Structure 1
Amino acid sequence: MKKSVIPNNPEVNEQLSSKDYMKFLIPSLIGVFLFLFPLIRDGAVNIPLGYLIDFFKNASKPFGKQVIYGVVILSSSITLIHRLVKFKFIKSSKFWSTIFEVGVKGKMYWKGFNSSQCNGKK
């Protein structure tokens, strides 16, 4: 069987290998098992993903709130300190700047937004 790199282009065709089939089949079978395969445990019917969620929910119960509080305090602290000090690695990285440069004049990427609208200027 041939796979097209560019649709409807007969010049660019490759043969599918067994590795290509496995790249599709293995994740597909895992997904079918996690989402569609019912398991009966203690008289209750649930999918494997439900059991995984219950496991992690129970395992994180003793320290879950502390982790959430830690993430919120850490991210808000970095944001406040960055507003005062302007870390170079945050300003130079698009990823980190979209996370930590917040506020009215922060990184706003929706269409049609003009930064002069923040100051009331037109």
Structure 2
Amino acid sequence: MNHKHSSHNKPYSTVSVIKFILPSLLGIFLFMLPIHYEGSITIPIAILSSTLQELLADQMLCILFITVTISTFGALCTKLFKPRFVLNNKFLLALFNPSWIWLILRILAFVFITIIVLVEKGLIVSSNLLPIVEMISSPDTGGLVLSDLLPVLFSIFLFAGLFLPLL
């Protein structure tokens, strides 16, 4: 009988094992190792996330506005004009070719964040406008989402996207 040896029976080199073990240990440290920090127990990735939020606090509104703007207008241009450089690039196509429903949601998000930014910067006064503007920009609704929720999600997803492959 002719038995062929499969590649998984070959011994792994020390370098290959180290290339697997070290990133995995880093991932375990970042996501699973509880540590004491400022009087409480947390994980290192949460410390990184909160530190980034503190560092970017003054620029976060601008970063979020630019992100939503690029996402909205990139998707809108892709749907309407179908640029080849986007259609021929898997990464850009995945970012800028949502379904029509998601495109409409991106447009609504852009409108809402624009209203909130204009109110936050004092460029429009919400009390002088329609009640809908007050509802969108109120610190209890859209203002809460933009100033409290989105900065946390931004930093968490940034680090999750970078470091989850280590696990």
Coarse TM-score class (shorter-chain normalised): 0.5 to 0.7
**1:99 aligns to 2:95 (yes or no):** yes
Equivalent residue number for residue 22 of structure 1: 18
Aligned-residue offset at 1:69: 1.0
Unaligned stretches of 5+ in structure 2?
101-167
Equivalent-residue separation in structure 1 for 2:18 and 2:92 (angstroms): 36
Equivalent-residue separation in structure 1 for 2:53 and 2:17 (angstroms): 35
Aligned-residue offset at 1:42: 3.2
- What is the correspondence of 1:56-95 to structure 2 with a 5 Å cutoff? 56-95=52-91
Equivalent residue number for residue 49 of structure 1: 45
Write out per-residue CA displacement over residues 36-56 of structure 1, whole angstroms, 9 at most, x where no aligned residue: 433323322222222111111
Equivalent residue number for residue 31 of structure 1: 27
Query: For residue 35 of structure 1, what is the amino acid of its counterpart?
Result: F
Q: Please say which of residues 77-86 and 10-19 is displaced more in the overlay.
A: 77-86
Q: Secondary structure at the match of 1:66?
A: helix
Higher relative contact order (Cα pairs below 8 Å, separated by 6+ residues): 2
Q: Secondary structure at the match of 1:10?
A: coil
Question: Residue 99 and residue 54 in structure 1: after superposition, are their counterparts in 2 closer, same or farther (change >3 A)?
Answer: closer
Size of the alignment, in residue pairs? 98
Structure with greater proportional helix content: 2
Q: Please say which of residues 56-65 and 82-91 is displaced more in the overlay.
A: 82-91
Write out per-residue CA displacement over residues 63-83 of structure 1, whole angstroms, 9 at most, x where no aligned residue: 112111111112222333344
Query: For residue 18 of structure 1, what is the amino acid of its counterpart?
Result: T
Equivalent-residue separation in structure 2 for 1:39 and 1:57 (angstroms): 20
Equivalent-residue separation in structure 2 for 1:102 and 1:46 (angstroms): 36
Normalising by structure 1, what TM-score? Answer: 0.61
Residue of 5, 11, 14 corresponding to 1:10 = 5
Equivalent-residue separation in structure 1 for 2:81 and 2:59 (angstroms): 32
- Identity rate, percent: 26
